[in-house]
Amino acid sequence: MAIRSTLIAALMMSVSSCAFINTTGNIPATNETPSSVVEEIASPLPGGIELVESFTPAEGEIGIPYTKYLMPNGLTIVLHEDKSDPLIHTDITYHVGSGREEAGKSGFAHFFEHMMFQGSNNVADEEHFKTISEAGGTLNGSTNSDRTNYYETIPSNQLEKILWLEADRMGFFLDAVTEEKFENQRETVKNERGQNYDNRPYGLLRERVGEALYPEGHPYSWSTIGYIEDLNRANLNDLKKFFSRWYGPNNATLTIGGDIDKTQTLEWIAKYFGSIPRGPEVKAPEYIPVTLDADRYISMEDKVALPLIYMSIPTVYARHPDEAPLDVLMSIMGEGRTSLLYKNLVKEGLAVQASAGHGCAELMCNFTLLALPNPASGKSLSDMDKILRDSIKEFETRGVEDDDLERVKAGIVSGMIYGLESVSGKVSQLAFYETFTGSPNYTSKDIERYSNVTKEDVMRVYNQYIKDKPAVVMSIVPEGQPDAIAAPDTWTMYERTIPEEDNTEELEVRYATDDFDRSIKPAAADFNPTVKLPDMWTSNLENGVDILGAINTETPTTALQIRIEAGERQQTLDNLGIASLTANMLSEATEMSTNEELSNRLAKLGSSIGISSGARFTTITVHSLTENIDETMAIVKERLLHPKFDEADFKRIKEQTLQGIEQRKTQASAIASGIFTLLTYGQDTPSAHPSLGTKETVSAITLEDAKNFYADHYTAGAASIIAVSDLSQDELTSTLGALSDWTGDNNITPPSFNYPTLEAGTLYLIDKEGAAQSEIRIGKRALKYDATGEYFKSGIMNYPLGGAFNSRININLREDKGYTYGARSRFSGSDVKGLFTASAGVRTDATADSIVQFVNEITGYYENGITEEELAFTKSAIGQSDALDYETPFDKLGFLSQIVTYDLPEGFTDEQSEILQNLTKEEVDALAKKHLNLDDMIMVVVGDKAVIEDDLKALGYPIVELDYDGLPIPAPQRPKLD
């Protein structure tokens, strides 16, 4: 196909002009004012809303059209129209994160993210989740050091309801906060910390580095989640004061994008947000440079399989003029397979992982280097420390090459374009830019500042910020190996100074006055979003490979997958892991090119190629700007048809795989899920074992084995292609024709299974000494996948039990009891097997009662069935969510994959909709009776046996102790009596 526009080249040379207007009406003479802007200037806006500016990208420019407004109370509004899909994404960002917290009160911003979902004056507890789920939407919130945001994606007829919800928690929150809600969410945050920090390998890395890097009291010297002791010390009034200080409309940006009517949207915003009073004035945080007077070595022991070294050097701050050249330097040092760290550590087999980063926040950036040594190399963390420092020095002689600049610039431009593939991506970008730059129109500036980086800039920032500069160097070593650290500690954590509490400050409560009843929840708009399935087409290559494609003209991008039936099903018990090893080898050198050369070519194209194996398929996933798809496909062809199978590459991949197997044994969640699968499907079922294989099988696999697996299974006869592109069917089929000379028959071996008899009612215990949480799995073998039969209906049946956020299981264990960060149940299945699983990571001291609560909820649903209210909620939630299912190219790829994998007929989605709407309570109850009998299920618990065993025994279940491979541990021999 012909290359279309030279988009990247044009953007590297200059930034295009744009159609732009502000309230003064100054318009560049070379551009016409968009008609929508003219109408808005001519019409009075509701509620005193003021038009600030409107932007439309010029032809060939990357940018997101928007209109920005300001309310009298200071709320900034950014609207973006996108009629391509019947959905809307909303984002309200408050310019407050952990960086606004005070010493001794860490974690408040994140705590508040949780509290804001607990109801307000006119929204009941848990009603926020229920309302959006019932509307067919999704929602969440997030907090970092600099901002907190709350976001929803909804069908386009639900916008007024969302604005009512967001306004109520902005303006009518404090009076609804209770001590009970406060204590419950405090426990939830503790569970989150346990799951994501304390109980996760290397989970405390950044917290410890931040303590050593920043001076005491610096807002980045504590992690966003905060310290447990600060959370324990906090009281309800502290939280209320924090809200009153930071959560006013004048510290917020409301960004809405998608299928909106701007006039109607502004009227709703004026109605629901207009009466909310301003909060205290907010100034931009003050940047104070952070410097170190010498290297600070710190260390800790952790439940890890591999030691780790992490080096952090303070640099500048986000959007500082030197951020971009430092990012280029970071890429040269440790990003991808063209980097110095890859060459010096990973390629040589000295490390299983090595990388660099330059993470930037509002007040500080940090240049980081990381390495995990390969035990087979015999290298220590001390050796890694020296190699990292030598690699930094090597940059001086290597310097900056033209390809370095081209790779980074291409990555920036392609990343911007890929970000336009979803309305959520566009809204998030607009909200981010407005919050941190004061203008949503920063895309061009972002591209420009990277486009203008020179070789001299990179060398200058290296000398100014990195060369011979002190760093915080952290070692994390396996428990019991304190001597394995890189160097003795030279810095010790100070005793934190907790300021005395000022109890004289009065709580400021701001009240709104309305001329309407806020307690009335708005109804959905009086139209139903029309969900349009992707326009699909079928074709095939000359060698018979089938193609299923869909046209997506919203962005100039192409996404595709080549699927080969060469997955775990094709393994035997003797060669577990061969599918994964072989797939990984296709990401290495080819007969014509080194891996570094291919990676360099891909990066300069802004393309990605990922190769991975799963239960049934090995999948080659491609993402490319359409103008570069021919060159990208040439690399795909080279990797697929001409892998080199180099001995050195194989040795390195094999060692990395063996370390990955050991690393899984440090992760309680992975252990629990893996052993549950082994128990339900059986040790004799190859695909029941972890995809990486076992230590014994991987150790025995040879390079010749991988070559043979490739020759036997990587054939055109076992392959199919699914693709989504703005190209026409003929154009894309022509491009994919690059693979027409791929040959080979279909050598697929149908899987056979010999499932074990489940010891139903048994509790299997795996000891993970010192675990901060316990992982629970309850379930059994269940239905195979079908799109319109009993499996599909059972998924609907499970939704109110454990599928929705406000399901019975999650509300009980998370919201009512505070035992977990999240609990759920689900049916999962393929064409040959299926499971029902209920799962959660829970507080160690609540392990036994968590099982009791799971049992109560499953039994209660089994015996009494669904309520009429739950059935109506389920039908509404699942039925209206279709609007969100087909938006992005990868959403469409998922839909196409489902069709190909299960040979689904045309119109199956209509049949699903009909089944959903006609499903009765009697049918749901019958399914619950059939599939949720706890007498058929087993339980798996991974936790600290010394702490939880007695409580588990008190439950009365037979207990069998297993090792990390799922094999029984013999009971200790009793001493013989004389």
Residue 242 belongs to a domain with what CATH number? 3.30.830.10
Counting the structural domains of the chain, the total is: 5
Residue 780, in any domain of the structure: yes
Q: Which two tokens stand for residue 557?
A: 């991008």
Mean pLDDT calculated for residue range 796-820: 95
Q: Which two tokens stand for residue 884?
A: 């969100």
Of the ranges 6-20, 32-46, 442-456, which is most confident? 442-456
Of residues 445, 404, 441, the one with CA closest to residue 426: 441
Q: Which residue, of 73, 105, 131, is where some domain finishes? A: 73
Q: Do 153 and 39 reside in the same domain of the chain? A: no
Do residues 842 and 850 make contact, with C-beta atoms less than 8 angstroms apart?
Answer: yes
Does residue 157 share a domain with residue 106? Answer: yes
| Distances 249 to 72, 113, 166, 275, 623 between C-alpha atoms, Å | 10, 16, 11, 10, 39
Mean pLDDT, rounded, for 504-530: 85
Written as one string, the DSSP assignment of 717-733 is GGEEEEEEESS-HHHHH
| pLDDT band for position 972 (cuts 50, 70, 90) | low
Find, among 46, 964, 156, the residue nearest to 531 by Cα: 156
Least confident of 441-450, 484-493, 627-636: 441-450
Token pair belonging to 559: 């996404």
pLDDT of the residue at 971? 57
Average pLDDT of the segment spanning 608-624? 97
Domain-embedded: residue 624: yes
Same domain, 573 and 617: yes
Structural domain contains residue 320: yes
The helices-and-strands tally (H runs, E runs) of the chain is 33, 25
- Tell me the backbone φ, ψ of residue 31, rounded to 5 degrees: -130, 150
Distance CA 356, CA 350 (A): 16
Q: Report residue 761 CA to chain centroid gap.
A: 35
> Quick one: 401 and 473 in the same domain?
yes
The dihedral sign for the CA sequence 843, 847, 851, 852: negative
- Averaged over 431-442, what is the pLDDT? 96
pLDDT band at 311 (very low <50, low <70, confident <90, very high): very high
Q: How far apart are the first and last CA of the chain?
A: 89
Label the pairing between strands 351-360 and 148-155: unpaired
* β-pairing verdict for 472-478 and 296-302: parallel
pLDDT tens track for 220-246: 999 999 999 998 888 888 888 999 999
Give residue 502's pLDDT. Answer: 72
Mind giving me the DSSP string for 460-510?
Answer: HHIIIIITT---EEEEEEETT-GGGSSS-----PPPPP-PPP---SPPP--
Same domain flag for 801 and 726: no
Laid out side by side, the sheet with 87-94 consists of 18-22, 50-57, 66-70, 76-81, 252-258, 87-94, 148-155, 138-143
Asked if the structure places residue 499 within a domain, the reply is no
- For residues 619 and 553, state if they share a domain: yes
Please, which pLDDT band fits residue 26 given cuts at 50, 70 and 90?
very low
Confidence of residue 396 (pLDDT cuts 50, 70, 90): very high
Strands (E), 503-607: 536-540, 546-551, 557-564
Give the model's pLDDT for residue 534: 85
- Position 249 in a domain: yes
Asked whether residue 53 is assigned to any structural domain, the reply reads yes
- Whether residues 66 and 91 share a domain: the answer is no
* Per-residue pLDDT, 511: 85
pLDDT at 375: 93
Residues 676 and 600 occupy one common structural domain:
yes
- Paired with 549 in beta bridges are 537, 723
- Of 257-266, 338-347, 752-761, where does mean pLDDT reach its minimum? 752-761
Beta strand 719-725 pairing with 618-625: unpaired
969 falls within a domain: no
What percentage of the chain exceeds 70 in pLDDT?
95
In this structure, the answer to whether residues 63 and 97 fall within a common structural domain is no
Mean pLDDT (the chain, rounded): 91
**Is the model's pLDDT at 174 over the cut of 60?**
yes
Under 8 Å between Cβ of 824 and 803: yes
CB distance 255 to 223 below 8 Å: no
Structural domain including 480 reads 296-418+435-484
- Structure token pair of residue 593: 């090119």
Q: Are residues 630 and 559 in the same domain?
A: yes
- Contact predicate 305/666, CB 8 Å: yes
Q: Are 783 and 790 in contact (CB under 8 A)?
A: yes
Q: What was the pLDDT predicted at 39? A: 41
Pair 358, 316: CB distance under 8 Å:
no
3-class state of residue 257 by DSSP: strand
Write 230-235 long-range contacts (CB < 8 A, 24+). Answer: 230/104, 230/105, 230/106, 230/107, 231/107, 231/111, 231/186, 231/189, 231/190, 232/186, 233/104, 233/498, 234/105, 234/107, 234/108, 234/111, 234/186
Q: Over the stretch 53-63, which tens digit does the pLDDT of each residue have?
A: 999 999 888 89
pLDDT of 149 strictly over 60? yes
Question: Is pLDDT of 20 > 50?
Answer: no
For residue 976, pLDDT beyond 90 = no
Q: Cα–Cα distance between 719 and 717 in angstroms, integer? A: 6
Q: What is the pTM of this model?
A: 0.91
Residue 802 has pLDDT above 60, yes or no: yes
8 Å CB contact between 963 and 664:
no
Same domain (yes/no): 109, 173: yes
The confidence score (pLDDT) of residue 749 equals: 81
User: Does the structure show a pLDDT above 90 at 870?
Assistant: yes
Q: What is the DSSP letter of 577?
A: T
Q: Is residue 497 part of a domain?
A: no
Closest CA to 149 of 157, 140, 141, 159: 141
- Would you place residue 9 in the very low, low, confident or very high pLDDT band (cuts 50, 70, 90)? very low
Looking at residue 645, its amino acid is F
- Asked whether residue 711 falls in the same domain as residue 786, the answer is no
